[in-house]
Structure 1
Amino acid sequence: MSQSKHTLNSSLGKKLIMALTGLFLCTFLIVHLAGNLQLFQDDNGYAFNIYANFLTHFPPIEVIAYLLYASIIVHAVYALILTIKNRQARPVGYAVTTKSPTSWSSQNMGLLGSILFLFIVIHMGDFWYKYKFTHSVTFKEYRTNLGTGERTVSNYTPEKPDFEHSVSYDQNNEIIRVKDLHTKVAESFSQLWYVVIYVIAMLALAFHMLHGFQSAFKTLGWVHRKYNGIVYFIGTWFFGVIVPLGFAAMPVVYYIMSLKK
């Protein structure tokens, strides 16, 4: 067995792969949150639907998406393997435990990761799968007057079953027809059980990131006393607080809005 194979098959190798895939997933979280914040625009779903259409029809993004799916699977599988090995090596629990959030997170990464993985399966099944592979998502037509910027929106029924999207022009009007994922999101977030699952998953994400982000840097050897404070700040406040809160705010706000209708 070559040295590289031996390294990858070792516990250290698995931790290195987990660290790299974990940091890649952190990058995805930032991009995904930025795109999903389009849900807060009061534009009848225009910005969010254009964003969703771009993600699913721009080839380079689709390639990155499949790398993302592979990273999620690899990260989850290696986490499971390491968790099992650690429990086998240390069947007796710690005699003394601390009560800091980071320590609790580090001792329960398997549980937190399992919650997140289950959430990803539910989330992708409800949105990504239905958007890409079923006809359950309806269409919207947006007509924008290029001179005044005024936009009208209406439901659209495509003539062909394989229709995906189109952009056309009628005199001074831009006509965009796309799948209406915005309405699907609003419907899902109007269900209390889905909102509760979403918020629980974001709590799990917060605790997962409290330990995971800093742990990835330590595993890769990217530690220095000059930068440890920055890594701690980003891992704790940005990925542990701001990002989860940003994601959790979406279902909560949409659920409250649905109660007012």
Structure 2
Amino acid sequence: MSLTDIPTPRHIPDRLSGQGARILRSWELLLFVIAVLIFLANTQASPYFLDPWNLSDATFNFTEKAMVAFAMALLIIAGEIDLSVAGIIALASTAMGWALQFGVGTPGLIFIGLGVGLLCGAFNGVLVTRLGLPSIVVTIGTMSLFRGLSYIVLGDQAFNGYPTDFAWLGRGYVVWVISFELLLFVVLALIYGAVLHFTNFGRHVFTIGNNATAARFSGIRVERVKMILFLLTGLMSGIAAVCLTARLGSTRPSIASA
């Protein structure tokens, strides 16, 4: 046997080192490092920054928006968008305030808030999935429609006088510094993370976002999946409306405009 007949040994890549390099180059790590630096800077700027109650109060600034963002993320992955979520929150809050004038209690107010959110999401979904209209055009229009209805009902007035048990949904604490909103946010984050990464529905969402035509020929019911996503976005907007209205203690047509 000559030297040329000896096979050249193959180089087997180290999978672990490859994964480590990807992690080091990932944007998730970059965001984590930035967050740590911001925390360190704020800690040096104020001795009260790391106070548990201060951090707990700070969570109220993002929980309602984040709950809507969970459903919105799935919708964007699927290649659609919903710009009407703030209008949905305004209309759901207005419907709850209007029902309050007739003596509806906390369970009824919650049901109305979630129901209005679902109806608005269904309206957007039908226009996009059944009529084939672009979601960005549809939701720009419904954004003005939903908030316009709130202004028609309220004008420059406001609904007040929500019951104490309803207000607890936006201001109450479950245990120590853990507010109900924060706990709800964490539970929803776990649910949406599991749905997106560990279920067939989540894989369908990714497939539709990559190529809706190929997904349709693969047997995925594209319109049905998108309709569910619009319903979820409407539902999460309804949940945000309940929490935000309970936290503010009043309903105005300009709610969720910032």
TM-score interval for Structure 1 and Structure 2 normalised by the shorter chain? under 0.3
TM-score of the superposed pair, with normalisation by structure 1: 0.24
Larger of the two Rg values belongs to structure: 2
For CA contacts below 8 A with separation 6 or more, give which structure has more relative contact order: 2
- Name the structure with the higher strand share: 1
TM-score, normalised on structure 2?
0.25
